[in-house]
């Protein structure tokens, strides 16, 4: 260990990207990457898709191979941080070891939001956040078994598609009036609702879960209206909570995530942060938000590495996301919060490709593109540059 050691808490996508970016920025000091899963860091997006469906193995999901860490002199440590001492510039691990840092990077990610209802502790009630979670689900999946998914957001619908591909009887319960209500316009919700129903998924909206019942393991789901649904397994996907306990205890500024400036610095100049635990300002929309996506984690990590190395890079990229369900690739450019108008290119009632454009006060602010990669790229550029556009060209856009 040297006096110019960078300690990264969280072997997440952000953590690995930050470690690698440090070497690209010519950081010569030690880099310590601390994770608590006891395996090589892996990508999370495939967990609810190819990995759950059995189409890939965990090695296929590795962010980097073992040789990368050796070559880049990145030390992987299996452990959990229990405390940060900002004045002493140290981190205490669950092993009792104390490690020193010149700069600390918080890449602690997020955890699945728990459903606090009777029976939630029963065997067979799963969450989907880690590889261990998915391995437990895969062990329970056999063709014809009955799965109930609580939550009709991206994770819930991706999980439904992956399970249907394996012949599982799937019911999706969404508490809101429509699936994807928080993130898409009604026309997009209707398209995905209809798609899943066509694939054999029993989609139920305005469905509130009262609890789970079973003798030792889950056997049925109880709804608020008294109806019960038989279940061999339950998967809960009702959002995530940023892991900010360490930051709060250390006295850092936290508000729905660790607050960072445009250079990924926290309220302590010797601590940076990146990934799902971060709350950043999006210049394009002039507001703060916590982004739960690989693209944001990658940019934040690169900017954090540059900041550590004395290069004043800034967070400027437009947020973007994606979701794979069946043969559909949904690509989202920008943030649609505050939209007052939508424009649809294509026919979502009959086709498998279309784009939903979101406007605020006449300006394009976001786009949901289903199987339309060209629309996605054009929308990203237009939104980021705030370019003028011809609406007739949007309507006539093609895949």
Where in the chain are the domains? 6-111+241-308, 125-236, 327-395
- 159-194 pLDDT, tens digit per residue, is 999 999 999 999 999 999 999 999 999 999 999 999
What are the residue ranges in the chain where pLDDT is below 70? Answer: 1-3, 396-399
The two three-digit tokens of residue 306, written as one number:
């540059």
Residues pairing with 355 in the sheet: 345, 369
pLDDT confidence of residue 1: 42
pLDDT confidence of residue 339: 96
Domain 125-236, CATH homologous superfamily name and number: FAD/NAD(P)-binding domain (3.50.50.60)
- The answer to whether the CB of 353 falls within 8 A of the CB of 346 is yes
State in words which class domain 327-395 has.
alpha beta
User: CA 303 to CA 178: how far, in whole Å?
Assistant: 37
pLDDT confidence of residue 3: 56
Tell me, yes or no, if the two domains 6-111+241-308 and 125-236 fold the same way: yes
Domain 6-111+241-308, CATH homologous superfamily name and number: FAD/NAD(P)-binding domain (3.50.50.60)
Share of the chain above pLDDT 90, in %: 88
Closest CA relative to residue 304, chosen from 344, 352, 333, 271: 271
User: CA 117 to CA 212: how far, in whole Å?
Assistant: 7
- State in Å, rounded, how far the first CA of the chain is from the last one: 53
pLDDT confidence of residue 14: 97
pLDDT confidence of residue 124: 97
The edge-to-edge listing of strands for the beta sheet with 228-230 is 209-213, 220-223, 228-230
User: CA 368 to CA 153: how far, in whole Å?
Assistant: 15
**DSSP3 helix / strand / coil % (the chain, rounded to 5):** 25, 30, 45
Closest CA relative to residue 160, chosen from 183, 178, 184, 141: 141
Q: CA of 279: how far to CAs of 80, 251, 274, 317, in Å? A: 22, 16, 9, 15
Q: CA of 374: how far to CAs of 158, 223, 355, 399, in Å? A: 23, 43, 10, 6
Which residue is listed with tokens 């205890």? 249
At a CB cut-off of 8 Å and minimum separation 6, what does 286 contact? none
Helix (H, G, I), strand (E, B) or coil at 148: strand
User: CA 345 to CA 160: how far, in whole Å?
Assistant: 27
pLDDT confidence of residue 55: 85
* Whole-prediction pTM: 0.94
């Amino acid at each position: 260990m040297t006096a110019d050691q960078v300690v990264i808490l969280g072997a997440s996508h952000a953590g690995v990207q930050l470690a690698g970016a440090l070497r690209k920025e010519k950081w010569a000091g030690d880099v310590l990457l601390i994770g608590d899963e006891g395996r090589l860091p892996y990508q999370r997006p495939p967990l609810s898709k190819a990995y759950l469906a059995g189409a890939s193995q965990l090695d296929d999901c590795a962010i980097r191979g073992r040789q990368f860490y050796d070559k880049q002199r990145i030390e992987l440590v299996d452990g959990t941080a229990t405390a940060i001492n900002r004045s002493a510039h140290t981190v205490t691990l669950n092993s009792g070891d104390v490690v020193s840092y010149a700069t600390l990077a918080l890449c602690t990610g997020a955890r699945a939001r728990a459903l606090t209802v009777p029976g939630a502790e029963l065997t067979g009630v799963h969450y989907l956040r880690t590889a261990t979670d998915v391995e437990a689900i895969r062990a329970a999946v056999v063709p014809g078994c009955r799965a109930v998914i609580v939550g009709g957001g991206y994770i819930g619908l991706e999980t439904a598609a992956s399970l249907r591909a394996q012949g599982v009887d799937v019911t999706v319960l969404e508490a809101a009036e429509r699936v994807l209500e928080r993130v898409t316009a009604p026309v997009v919700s209707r398209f995905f609702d209809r798609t899943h129903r066509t694939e054999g998924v029993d989609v139920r909206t305005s469905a509130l879960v009262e609890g789970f019942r079973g003798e030792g393991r889950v056997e049925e789901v109880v709804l608020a209206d008294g109806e019960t649904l038989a279940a061999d397994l339950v998967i809960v996907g009702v959002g995530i909570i940023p892991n900010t306990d360490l930051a709060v205890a250390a006295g850092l500024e936290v508000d729905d995530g660790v607050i960072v400036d445009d250079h990924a610095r926290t309220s302590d100049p010797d601590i940076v942060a990146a990934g799902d635990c971060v709350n950043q300002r999006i210049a394009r929309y002039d507001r703060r938000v916590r982004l739960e996506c690989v693209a944001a984690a990658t940019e934040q990590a690169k900017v954090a590495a540059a900041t550590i190395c004395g290069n004043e890079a800034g967070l400027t990229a437009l947020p973007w996301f994606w979701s794979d369900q069946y043969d559909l690739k949904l690509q989202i450019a920008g943030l649609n919060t505050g939209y007052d108008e939508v424009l649809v290119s294509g026919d979502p009632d009959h086709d498998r490709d279309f784009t939903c454009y979101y406007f605020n006060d006449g300006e394009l602010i976001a786009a949901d593109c289903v199987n339309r990669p060209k629309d996605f790229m054009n929308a990203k550029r237009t939104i980021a540059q705030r370019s003028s556009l011809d609406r007739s060209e949007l309507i006539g856009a093609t895949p």
